Amino acid sequence: MLGARQVLNSHSQRKAEEATEDYLETINSLIKEKGFAASVDIAERMNVSKPTVTSIVKKLHNQGYLVHEKYRGLKLTNKGRRLAEEMQKKHRLITTFLVLFGVEENVAREDAEKIEHGLHAETLARLEAFTEYMLSNPELVKKYRSATE
């Protein structure tokens, strides 16, 4: 059985991992959209202060996820890009899954952001298989939606 301190440390560590994933996902999206990611854009997109972004960027640099080229912006390392793309893939999968069941897309995107960090790899694999099956059988989706409306 875990002690209270172990539970708190585990929770804090998970929150830090989620923040890392969210920042990398945001940076990767900005790079794809604009060709670069600036701290001011990250702060605006994530609704945090520029000093917070600066602190996180230093941490991500030290962890090997990105390179901060002064006056040129941020560049993801292969490690950072892989994790960012993995998170974006999870986000798209969960959003698609929720939309299949009639959740409005903007709500599905918000919920996907909350869900994507904590799912086990086996759960994601099953979710992906089920979503692909449903997408390839639109009559089942239609039948489900008409039965639940």
pLDDT given for residue 12 in this prediction:
52
Q: Write the pLDDT tens digit of every residue in 18-48.
A: 888 999 999 999 999 988 898 899 999 999 9
Is 10's pLDDT higher than 60?
Answer: no
For the chain, the average pLDDT equals 87
What is the mean predicted confidence (pLDDT) over 73-82? Answer: 92
Listing DSSP states for 29-94 in one string gives HHHHHHSS--HHHHHHHHT--HHHHHHHHHHHHHTTSEEEETTTEEEE-HHHHHHHHHHHHHHHHH
Instruction: Give the residue, 101 or 86, on which the prediction is more confident.
Output: 86
| Maximal CA-CA distance, the chain | 57
| Segment holding 13, helix H or strand E | helix 4-34
Q: Which of 74, 15, 71, 24 has its CA nearest to residue 46?
A: 24
Could you give the CA distance from residue 69 to residue 92 in angstroms, rounded to a whole number? 30
